[in-house]
């Protein structure tokens, strides 16, 4: 299979404005919520990504009508599931994106049965779905695992329950929300994840007639309702894209204004960037990142659930630290195998040593362009960020990872002066 590549000639300072797209991690859960009602769900500020396309295909198989259009507020997706025509989500579709497993809860809540493939392995760690299944069982579902599939039944409907997660899980919190809104009685989720995307999902569900309170805190209450209706909802800004372009501006130098977003979504990152010597200014519709001259200072970071430092920004921050003065220690506490970008950054001349969940980055004077290989979504964009500052040309292979989570990456960076281009179909590789 012939794959696209992205080539970057480093050294160009960035200057301009980058509008931030809707959040991928929110959009895909909002799309799954369309299975909960027979009425239309209109999502605005929708990102156009490989992941949203994958989920759209799966939803169509299950009975949804998916219509994409361009509205006054940007891209829109209208999803209408008048009836569930199939409760079967096959491996060939679910394996393309783990989050598509979250159709299980809505299918179970609305039709009382589902057969959904387990999502399989993941390059950045195991990411098991045990908590998802335990929560559904607590809500009254009968769960059987057979030949890689989850067979779930709740012929008399789901019922409210008290659910306490042993550790914070964004996916399990969202999945429980999606199932419990149509359960009979009340549900309380304790030790819930607090990410903005969970608040966004709850806001949308409430517009559809759900009764959810406490989203964004560690305790969420859901009063089950008999049915949900249609609604219109704008997807919130992508905080990971916001942080990624903020780090790109810091790496390349110059001044970039990020719009249609919120700086408080990435406050933990902003604090570390300021500590490293980057100027960050918040404004009403986003933030401005500025770095003119002067070497960065090494800063230690440790990933944590929100509002801590996001694991999805760890690779990008490591790229920034490769040119900082001194040694930074980066600790990854969320996923056990999320330093696969380190060997690729070393190909550019970075000095990085990894021991288990800890990476030590000793800043170097300069990076040198080279051929590198993307291993996952966030790792791939860290290589683009490094390439912006490396001498000569950096070519990032297997960029289909990038297309899963970044909308018009080359266009947005290019508009600010980056020398970046896509090479169509000239890379070769195996599909994961």
Angle (CA) 80 81 84, round 5°: 170
- Tell me what pLDDT residue 96 has: 79
What pLDDT is recorded for position 128?
73
Please state the length of the chain.
432
25 is known to lie in a ligand binding site: yes
CA distances from 421 to 12, 61, 100, 378, 416 (A): 14, 35, 31, 19, 13
Which residue ranges in the chain fall short of pLDDT 50? 121-127, 427-432
Distance CA 30, CA 48 (A): 14
Q: Is position 98 annotated in a ligand binding site?
A: yes
For residue 241, what is the enclosing H or E element?
Answer: helix 239-252
pTM of the model: 0.94
Each residue's pLDDT tens digit, 157-199: 999 999 999 999 999 999 999 999 999 999 999 999 999 999 9
Cβ-contact 229, 208 below 8 angstroms: yes
Q: Which positions are annotated as active-site residues?
A: 122
What beta strand segments (E) does 97-141 contain?
A: 113-117
- Which pLDDT belongs to residue 405? 87
Contact 32, 25 (CB under 8 A): no
| pLDDT for res 121 | 45
Q: What is the pLDDT of residue 125?
A: 40
Q: Residue 103 carries which DSSP code? A: G
Q: Which pLDDT score, from 0 to 100, does residue 120 have?
A: 63
Determine whether the annotation assigns residue 166 to a binding site.
no
Distance CA 263, CA 337 (A): 28
> How far apart are alpha carbons 103 and 89 in whole angstroms?
8
Q: What is the DSSP letter of 408?
A: T
List % helix, strand, coil for the chain (3-state, nearest 5): 35, 30, 35
Give which of 432, 361, 419 is closest to 390, Cα–Cα.
Answer: 419
Q: What is the DSSP string of 243-303?
A: HHHHHHHHHH-EEEEEESS-GGGGHHHHHHHHHTT-EEEEETTEEEEEE-SSPPBP--EEB
Q: 127 among the known binding-site residues?
A: yes
Find out whether 128 is annotated in a ligand binding site.
Answer: yes
Helix (H) or strand (E) holding 234, with range, is: strand 231-234
Strands (E), 292-388: 301-302, 327-331, 351-355, 358-362, 371-373
Ligand-binding annotation for 131, yes or no, is: yes
Give the count of beta carbons closer than 10 Å to the beta carbon of residue 331: 15
Count CA atoms closer than 13 A to 246's CA, side-chain side: 32
- Domains in the chain: ranges and CATH: 2-21+237-428 (3.65.10.10), 24-234 (3.65.10.10)
Which stretches does DSSP call E strand in 109-199? 113-117, 142-146, 149-153, 162-164, 186-190
């Amino acid at each position: 299979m012939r794959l696209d590549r992205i080539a970057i000639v480093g050294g160009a300072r960035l200057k301009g404005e980058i509008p931030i797209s809707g959040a991928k991690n929110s959009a895909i859960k909002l799309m799954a919520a369309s299975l909960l009602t027979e009425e239309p769900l209109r999502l605005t500020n929708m990102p156009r990504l490989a992941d949203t396309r994958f989920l759209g295909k799966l939803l169509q198989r299950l009975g949804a009508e998916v219509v994409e259009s361009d509205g006054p507020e940007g891209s829109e997706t209208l999803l209408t599931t008048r009836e569930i025509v199939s409760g079967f989500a096959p491996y060939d579709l679910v394996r393309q994106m783990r989050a598509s497993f979250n159709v299980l809860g809505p299918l179970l809540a609305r039709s009382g049965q589902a057969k959904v493939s387990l999502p399989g392995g993941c390059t950045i760690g195991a990411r098991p779905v045990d908590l998802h299944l335990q929560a559904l069982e607590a809500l009254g579902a009968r769960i059987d695992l057979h030949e890689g599939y989850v067979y779930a039944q709740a012929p008399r409907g789901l019922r409210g329950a008290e659910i306490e997660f042993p550790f914070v899980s964004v996916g399990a919190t969202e999945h429980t929300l999606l199932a419990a809104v149509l359960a009979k009685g009340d549900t309380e989720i304790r030790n819930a994840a607090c990410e903005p995307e969970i608040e966004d999902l709850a806001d949308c569900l409430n517009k559809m007639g759900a009764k959810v309170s406490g989203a964004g805190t560690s305790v969420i209450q859901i009063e089950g309702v008999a049915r949900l209706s249609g609604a219109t909802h704008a997807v919130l800004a992508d905080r990971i894209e916001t942080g990624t372009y903020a780090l790109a501006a810091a790496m390349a130098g110059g001044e970039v204004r990020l719009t249609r977003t919120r700086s408080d979504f990435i406050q933990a990152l902003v604090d570390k960037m300021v500590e490293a010597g980057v100027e960050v200014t918040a404004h009403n519709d986003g933030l401005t990142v500025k770095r003119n001259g002067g070497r960065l200072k090494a800063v230690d970071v440790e990933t944590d659930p929100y509002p801590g430092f996001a694991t999805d920004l760890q690779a990008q921050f490591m790229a920034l630290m490769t040119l900082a003065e001194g040694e930074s220690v980066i600790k990854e506490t969320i996923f056990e195998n999320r330093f696969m970008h380190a060997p690729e950054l070393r190909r550019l001349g970075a000095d990085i040593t990894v021991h288990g969940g800890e990476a030590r980055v000793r800043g170097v004077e300069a990076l040198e362009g080279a051929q590198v290989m993307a291993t996952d979504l966030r790792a791939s964009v860290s290589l683009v960020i490094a390439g912006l500052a490396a001498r000569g040309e950096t070519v990032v292979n297997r960029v289909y990872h990038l297309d899963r989570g970044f909308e018009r990456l080359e266009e947005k960076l290019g508009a600010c002066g980056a020398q970046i281009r896509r090479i169509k179909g000239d890379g070769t590789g195996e599909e994961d």
